[in-house]
Amino acid sequence: MVRVPFVYQRTIRFQDTDAAGVVYFANGLSLCHEAYEASLEASGIPLNTFFGKSDLAFPIVHASIDFLRPLSCGDRVEIHLTPSQTSASQFEIAYCVYLAAALEKPVILATTRHVGIDAKARSRHNLPPFMVNWVAQWGTPGKIPG
Amino acid sequence: MVRVPFVYQRTIRFQDTDAAGVVYFANGLSLCHEAYEASLEASGIPLNTFFGKSDLAFPIVHASIDFLRPLSCGDRVEIHLTPSQTSASQFEIAYCVYLAAALEKPVILATTRHVGIDAKARSRHNLPPFMVNWVAQWGTPGKIPG
Amino acid sequence: MVRVPFVYQRTIRFQDTDAAGVVYFANGLSLCHEAYEASLEASGIPLNTFFGKSDLAFPIVHASIDFLRPLSCGDRVEIHLTPSQTSASQFEIAYCVYLAAALEKPVILATTRHVGIDAKARSRHNLPPFMVNWVAQWGTPGKIPG
Amino acid sequence: MVRVPFVYQRTIRFQDTDAAGVVYFANGLSLCHEAYEASLEASGIPLNTFFGKSDLAFPIVHASIDFLRPLSCGDRVEIHLTPSQTSASQFEIAYCVYLAAALEKPVILATTRHVGIDAKARSRHNLPPFMVNWVAQWGTPGKIPG
């Protein structure tokens, strides 16, 4: 079975850019987070409840980003997203951002690491079934721990 | 002839929200600007050149926004945009933002006023044909001056 | 008695700018909101509770902004803020943004209109004493209704 | 000789937060970039020219961030910044973000890696003397290559 990563399409907006004429570096991570949100929606997870109104939360504890070339206003990009569960309470997402017109070579590579917590107590909490299913739907099978 | 306004579809993202759980007020105007960019693209105007790399620029000299109800992460909105030329060197855009599921009543009303300038001299400049055409394509006919 | 408006000082940051090399228009309103936050702090109002964790909220229902000249990265600005109560449940704030090196002429003029609401019911609520006091501390006396 | 890192003070703003009630993760990197800008200013480097109007540019090619605890609106933070030159054309910056009221333990750790380029040709360019001096002024002596 071949798994296809989740793909999110987006046009770079004027607001994403800075006075150097290209995407402001931190906005590269925001682009990736949008793809994450779209993948949650695609799995039927309601975003309004998920972000800020739920007993469980999955805050980002680590993120990294590499820029292979700059992005400009109007550029059409595709973000390919692959989640993997890394412990009972933790998952990571790998993002490859491509120009839609040049899918052979990424322009941005990024990762985010998320920890499941009880939103009130802010203590660690195992990933609930809907998140395990979300990882299984879009993720790399071999990376899901037993 | 019935003119249809330009319509831009967008999902409210986590990044658009603030600690009150709804869209941060200034981001309401950014949503509208995205619709403006999309309408330029739809008229064949290349965004990368248009914003920051052209001899002519159309900076916003005035903007206003009214919030009729708040927007939350995951809300799907439609932004209806209507430009009108208000002088030889100036145009305005009216925006109505609707929840895609409730198109009878807007949730945001906004306007932006733009002035054509020579980007280097920063002196007023008449709207070039491609912008007059863009207004004609999406705008209210009665509002275009003779 | 001569009242001095609340003054907030800020340097324009790279993140505030866009590919046209100047402050992105919607960020002009964010600058003004920062001044509002600083004035609340200066009156002893704890921001963390005020924004999003309180029974009462004061969402913005209207905002407008005029740009008299553009702002660039590194520009030092002063934002002068004057609140006024416009009804039992409503207040407005007028903002003048100046270059710190040229205080005789504003570069941005803006306003925000806020409505007091019960945050859960989202119904109108009269301004509580601490907000009436905040208006009185920084506002124009003649504009405060009897 | 004991070197003191560059310290930048900042209050967390409503705009920095998201619907989870805390600082949006990508904005953590923007906070750090503000500290970088302030350190350039403190070394007499004019920001307006530096960002986007110069023959040389220093784009970020890599960034990473770790969140040790969340930040809320109104929190006062101190960002301690330490640059180091890592090759003839490259430098890195390490950032420690602290609550101003609890300086013994960071809340965010971050890094950015910058490459000197000819802004037009977008080819690598050695760091000019003013950037070597900036690293020397705020950096860790042992990390500056021979």
Mean pLDDT, range B126-144, rounded to an integer: 85
The pLDDT of residue D144 = 45
Chain A residues bordering chain D (beta-carbon distance below 8 Å): 18-22, 24-27, 29-30, 33, 51-53, 57, 59-67, 70, 112
Mean pLDDT, range B46-74, rounded to an integer: 95
Task: Tell me the whole-structure pTM to 2 decimals.
Answer: 0.94
> H or E element: which one contains B49?
helix B47-50
Of B65, B141, B51, nearest to C33 (Cα)? Answer: B65
Contact between D19 and B19 using a beta-carbon 8 Å cutoff = yes
The pLDDT of residue D140 = 72
- Residue pLDDT tens, chain C, 146 long: 556 789 999 999 999 999 999 999 999 999 999 999 999 999 999 999 999 889 999 999 999 999 999 999 999 999 999 999 999 999 999 999 999 999 999 999 999 999 999 988 889 999 999 999 999 999 976 444 44
CB-CB neighbors (< 8 A) of C60 in chain B? 25, 67
Measuring CA to CA, how many Å separate A19 from each of C42, D46, D59, D122?
33, 14, 12, 16
The pLDDT of residue D52 = 82
The pLDDT of residue B2 = 58
CB-CB neighbors (< 8 A) of B13 in chain A? 33-34, 37
3-state secondary structure of A5: coil
The pLDDT of residue D3 = 64
For chains B and D, CB pairs below 8 A equal 31
Measuring CA to CA, how many Å separate C129 from each of C89, C93, C95, C106, C122?
11, 17, 23, 32, 19
The pLDDT of residue C53 = 85
CB-CB neighbors (< 8 A) of B27 in chain C? 26
Strand order in the sheet with C90-99: B6-11, B76-87, B90-99, B108-115, B60-67, C60-67, C108-115, C90-99, C76-87, C6-11
DSSP letter (8 states) at residue B102: B
**Amino acid present at C29:** L
Q: For residue range D27-66, list pLDDT tens digits in order.
A: 999 999 999 999 999 999 999 999 988 999 999 999 999 9
Comparing B143 with D71, the larger pLDDT belongs to: D71
Taking the CB of residue A90, how many other CB atoms lie within 10 A of it? Answer: 18
pLDDT at B45 over 90: yes
Residue B25 C-alpha, separation from nearest chain D C-alpha, in angstroms: 9
Taking the CB of residue C58, how many other CB atoms lie within 10 A of it? Answer: 24
CB-CB neighbors (< 8 A) of C70 in chain B? 59
Q: For residue range D85-141, list pLDDT tens digits in order.
A: 999 999 999 999 999 999 999 999 999 999 999 998 889 999 999 999 999 999 976
The pLDDT of residue D146 = 40
Give the whole-angstrom CA distance, residue B8 versus residue B23: 18
B16 among known catalytic residues: no
Give the whole-angstrom CA distance, residue C111 versus residue C90: 13
Instruction: Give residues with Cβ within 8 angstroms of C68, minimum separation 6.
Output: C105, C106, C107, C108, C109
On whether the CB atoms of residues A5 and A82 are closer than 8 A, the answer is: yes
Residue A20 C-alpha, separation from nearest chain C C-alpha, in angstroms: 6
Residue A71 C-alpha, separation from nearest chain D C-alpha, in angstroms: 12
Measuring CA to CA, how many Å separate A135 from each of A64, A85, A101, B145?
20, 7, 28, 57
CB-nearest to C15 from D17, D30, D74 is: D30
For tokens 């307006």, name the residue: D48
The pLDDT of residue C123 = 94
On whether the CB atoms of residues A113 and A60 are closer than 8 A, the answer is: yes
Between CA B33 and CA B43, with CA B39 as vertex, the angle to 5 degrees is 145
Contact between B19 and D15 using a beta-carbon 8 Å cutoff = no
Contact between A30 and B15 using a beta-carbon 8 Å cutoff = yes
DSSP letter (8 states) at residue A65: E
On whether the CB atoms of residues C99 and C76 are closer than 8 A, the answer is: yes
The pLDDT of residue C140 = 72
Give the whole-angstrom CA distance, residue C23 versus residue A22: 14
CB-nearest to D14 from B19, B72, B73 is: B19
Grouped pLDDT means (10 residues each) for chain A, 146 residues: 81 96 97 98 95 93 97 97 97 98 96 96 95 93 48
The pLDDT of residue C5 = 82
- Per annotation, catalytic residue among A18, A55, A66, A118: A18
DSSP letter (8 states) at residue C8: E
CB-CB neighbors (< 8 A) of D15 in chain C? 30, 33-34
DSSP letter (8 states) at residue D23: B
Contact between B19 and D21 using a beta-carbon 8 Å cutoff = yes
